[in-house]
Chain A
Amino acid sequence: MDLQRKLEILADSAKYDASCASSGSDRGGRGAGAAHISGVCHSWTADGRCVSLLKVLMTNECVYDCAYCVNRRSNDVPRASLTPDEIASLAFEFYKRNYIEGLFLSSGIAGSPDRTMELLLEAVRKLRREFRFNGYVHLKVIPGADRTLIDQAGLWADRVSVNIELPTDKSLRLLAPGKTKETVLGPMDRLAGRIAAYRDERRSIKSAPAYAPAGQSTQLIIGATPETDLEIMKLSEALYGKMRLKRVYYSAFVPVSRDSRLPALAEPPLLREHRLYQADWLLRFYGFTADELLDEKHPELDLAFDPKTVWALNNLERFPLEVNTADYEALLRVPGIGVTSARRILRARRAGTLKLDDLKKLGVVMKRAVYFVTAAGKYAGIKKESGEAIKVKLLEHKNPNGQLDLFGRLELAKEGLAATVTGQL
């Protein structure tokens, strides 16, 4: 099989992993390449997703038979493998031409987890040592591999990850025979410990080696199993808190194999995925907790409205907020105000009192914010503050014809897709 065909098969098998970040690392040193602290996208594929890394599997052969996975043992797909030499040289040739920012390397489990992990490490070691590559590497850790092998991952890679894929142990047992919560969370916990220990060391000794300087991430598949958004957000919250993860990725389930245990979906739940990313952003950058966004009575995110708007409508007694005096944390909770515009408001009001007209110039999305703010005492929202009335107004913006019909939902889905990459609200 020629290299082109192999690459095709192994890129095809890797593409369902949503992770694309190349940021958060800054490798010094000689040789070719450097990582960019804020990340760089090099292109965007026809589905609108950013390409920054050569994302491939080392092999798509696998001993597991996870129902959701395109590479499951029982799936009739062409199989291929790349050698560590082929991977390293391909990554280097692509990098040199500035096609990519680095390598994302994962693998099916061929033979034993140990052997697979060894080969993955060898590929990255070659890239670093023989090609003297200082660019970005994201390396998957193989659940079930020996501790000493898992420990090495962070020495060579900028980012390490183990995918949880299914949010609960029950779902894992159902769809991923051979995997349990422990086999996934064990290595993740181990890596979190390493990362923290090395970071401490570097605080006192500058020249101490870096260990996965861009941290750890994971992925959850959305819609293959019956978990609620509340369960998912609680899990993410715990992963960011206890495991100190940098990112949790959500991947709308694309039916890639037929299995009676899987739901029959007409299309991947992209709008739901988008709402989860928005909620995730609220946890990481906006100071929200999962409990503020969802509860047992309302365990699913509203598809018609973004989660911050829903929260604001449920907490109308906190609004309207005076933009000239509100603190940063309070501004961040206003629908239509993001991190950038909140910072701009703080800066601009040092130079003078802000009027309603000024807010749009600062980047505030007034069609949403207008119901929730005053500027110099002036309010331009609707007089009778009722959540329902505001909802109707907000929907008019999205769908001038009134009702949110099936078509309206379709439009929303598109809007959702457009924003997925950044997760901006």
Chain B
Amino acid sequence: MRRYLHDGSFTGFLTALALALERGGADCAIAPQRAAGGASEPELFAEYISAGSDPGRAAAMRELFERRGSAGSWRHARYAFLSENPGSGTALLAYARLLLEKGPAADDMLADGRVRRVHALSAAVGGEAHMFKGFVRFTELADGALYSRIEPEHNILPLITGHFRARLGGFNWVIHDARRTSAALYFKGRLVIAPLEKARLEEDAGEALVRELWKHFFRTAAIKERENPQLQRRNVPLKYRKNLTEFG
């Protein structure tokens, strides 16, 4: 069995995908390096190949998804990658092979396991990204900038920056994915995503009051006669509440 390892970047992943398609073998897999060299023991009979990062090969892969696939294929590939699901690399390899074989019609094969797997990963990521357009909570800092800490399941940060740029274009803001120690930094109209371990924060003096107002509003808005904690839990899973002001 061949395992193509990538460095965790999207370019690295696409390079690994290209190599797997070129050199193939029926039972090859794609996985991030970190997972292979980390806690788990390397498999005895597996052959490990480090894919490196080759922008040319990556561009060719993008072309494959865009040319051979339907209008949604490239998005499905990007989103499935961002899911960071351990099986997503190998799932995308099977999906890419199917696109090569069937062309755009592959995305119509909704009952096919290879298509369903990638579509499901993509939908999970798209769904979480949409949720976080609502779940991001900013704190105003002393210098007027807005800071938010999030811990999403999937790597959705790159998918929500455009939304907040359109919305808070006149402010400086930071959305900090504490789980991945990376942050989207929007400063004077420029946006970068960069590593960020810990942020030193000094809250604005008026912040505590606004936060209290919001918490009071949130509590008051519930109708006692209709209380339904199960429904609330389904809509706001417990794992997200830690960073939501109104549940703090």
Contact = CB atoms under 8 A, between A and B. Distances in A.
Interface of A: 3-4, 7-8, 11-12, 15-16, 31-34, 36, 40-52, 54-55, 90, 93-94, 96-99, 101, 135, 252, 254, 267-268, 270, 344, 347-348, 350-352, 354, 357-358, 361-362, 414, 417-418, 420-421
Most buried by A among B138, B139, B168, B226: B226
Interface residues of B, number: 53
B110 A40 contact: no
Q: Report whether over half of chain B's contact residues are helix, strand or loop; otherwise say mixed.
A: helix
Most buried by B among A43, A93, A135, A254: A43
Contacts of A47: 222-224, 226-228, 231-232
A358 B86 CA distance: 26
A351 B140 contact: no
Contact of B222 (A15, A93, A135, A417): A15
A37 B163 CA distance: 12
A97 B214 contact: yes
B217 interface: yes
Contacts of B212: 4
Nearest to A273: B226
A97 B137 contact: yes
A321 B134 CA distance: 40
Given A48-B231, A93-B210, A98 B148 contact: yes
B143 interface: no
Interface in B102-151: 105, 108-112, 116, 130, 133-140, 146, 148
A8 to B, nearest CB: 5
B225 A267 contact: yes
A256 to B, nearest CB: 9
Contacts of B171: 32, 96
Contact of A32 (B170, B225, B226): B170
Given A47-B222, A99-B246, 16 more contacts: A12-B220, A15-B222, A15-B223, A41-B134, A43-B134, A45-B218, A46-B228, A48-B232, A51-B221, A90-B213, A94-B214, A96-B138, A98-B134, A98-B164, A101-B134, A414-B230
B242 interface: no
A240 to B, nearest CB: 26
